[in-house]
Amino acid sequence: MKKTILGIIIVMGVILVSGCISNDSNNTDEPKTFSANGVFFKYPGQWDIAKSTVDGTIAAVADPASKNNLTGFAGTTVVVEKQNLTMSFNQFYNETYSKLFSNPDYELISEGNLTIGDYNASECVYSINSAEAKQCKAVWIQKDQEVYVILFTTSKGKYESQEKYLNYILSTFKLN
């Protein structure tokens, strides 16, 4: 039960990604590389590394152009979280979303499977219907007894135009 609650906190926690974004002197469209904490991926050159207060976060990148000046939080983010599995992957995934979707503000859009590098993955697309409407895509990868969740979040109205950035990150994503 503790892991299920932790899983829900992880999924919802992307909203808490800090707007504190490191600025690189070279802000071009040339892709940047993230390689730390057992993961490697490239991300858009105009994006920056972000800080996340979510337990289990091992990487976070954000589009500084999406920063909400009132809240200080970036509106378009990709956060990578890592958790140890204490139950089966399917049970952890299903329990996480069963709890999440019991909240009427969270609405399932779609679920499916995909391949990320050499790994089979599960994906869940959902919306958050609150004051600041969001749309999210969570990609779940199991490696041994650990699960990695790549969580993309953006404003609900910008999902289709911003999803290409997630797809780029996923196309380069590797577990070390």
Would you tell me which CATH number, out of the four given (3.30.460.10, 3.40.50.200, 3.30.565.10, 3.40.1000.10), belongs to the domain 2-175?
3.40.1000.10
Q: How confident is the model at residue 5 (pLDDT cuts 50, 70, 90)?
A: very low
Its pTM stands at: 0.84
Q: What is the pLDDT of residue 17?
A: 43
Q: What is the pLDDT of residue 73?
A: 84
Q: In angstroms, how far is CA 77 from the centroid of its own chain?
A: 7
Q: How confident is the model at residue 68 (pLDDT cuts 50, 70, 90)?
A: confident
pLDDT tens digits, one per residue of 148-162: 999 999 999 999 999
Please give the angle made by the CA atoms of 48, 151 and 54, to the nearest 5 degrees: 80
Q: What is the dihedral of CA 39, 52, 150, 8, to 10 degrees?
A: 130
